[in-house]
Amino acid sequence: MINFLIFLTLIAIGLSFIRFLKGPHLTDRVVAFDAMGVMAVSLLVILSVTIKDNIYLDVAFVFALIGFIGTIIFSRFNVVKEGDDNE
């Protein structure tokens, strides 16, 4: 049962990985990166429930934090670069 769920999560991560590879603009890649981070957090939650241990959830928390910081700093980078091109 749990193997089937892990397989379905891998399908979801793979479909958004294709968008991550072929996205034409930078923002498409950032959106796909955010979605991949959330899907990988749920994959880590399922794996740590099967292992039945408390300590593996720290990695999932750090994963969510890294996805948030990456999205914020790339969106800021977009705006600053646009203002620079207008000069």
Partner 1 sequence: MSIKQKISIQTISVSFVVSIMIIILLGILLNFTTQFQPTLGSDLLAINANSTETANAVTSVVTYFRGFDTLGEVTILFLSIFGVSLGLEGFKEKLNIFSYQNTLLKIGVDTLFPIIILFGIYVIVHGHLSPGGGFQGGVIIASGFLLMFLAKGDDFSINHKILELVESLSGAGFILIALLGLLVTDRFLGNFIPIGEVGELFSGGIIPLIYIFVGIKVSAEITALLEYFIRIKDVR
Partner 2 sequence: MSSIGFIFIFLGILFLILSSIGLLRMPDTLTRMHAGTKASTLGSLLVIVGAIFIEPTLWFKLSLLGFFLLITNPLSSSILARSTYLKFGFLNKSGIDDLKDNK
Partner 3 sequence: MIGLIILAIFVSMIILAIFIIFNRDLPHSVILFMGFGLGSVVLFFLFSAPDVALTEAVIGTGASSVVLLVTLLQVRRKERKR
What is the contact surface with partner 2 in residues (CB under 8 A)?
Answer: 1, 5, 8-9, 11-13, 15-16, 18-19, 25, 27-28, 30-32, 34-35, 38-39, 41-42, 45-46, 48-49, 52, 54, 57, 60-61, 64-65, 67-68, 71-72, 74-76, 78-79, 82
Q: Whose structure tokens read 């593996």?
A: 56
Q: Return phi, psi of residue 74, to 5°.
A: -75, -35
**Contact assessment for residue 78 and residue 26, using Cβ atoms and an 8 Å cutoff:** yes
CA 81 to mean position of chain CA atoms = 24
Instruction: Select the binding partner of residue 10 from partner 1, partner 2, partner 3, none (C-beta < 5 to 8 A, by kind).
Output: partner 3
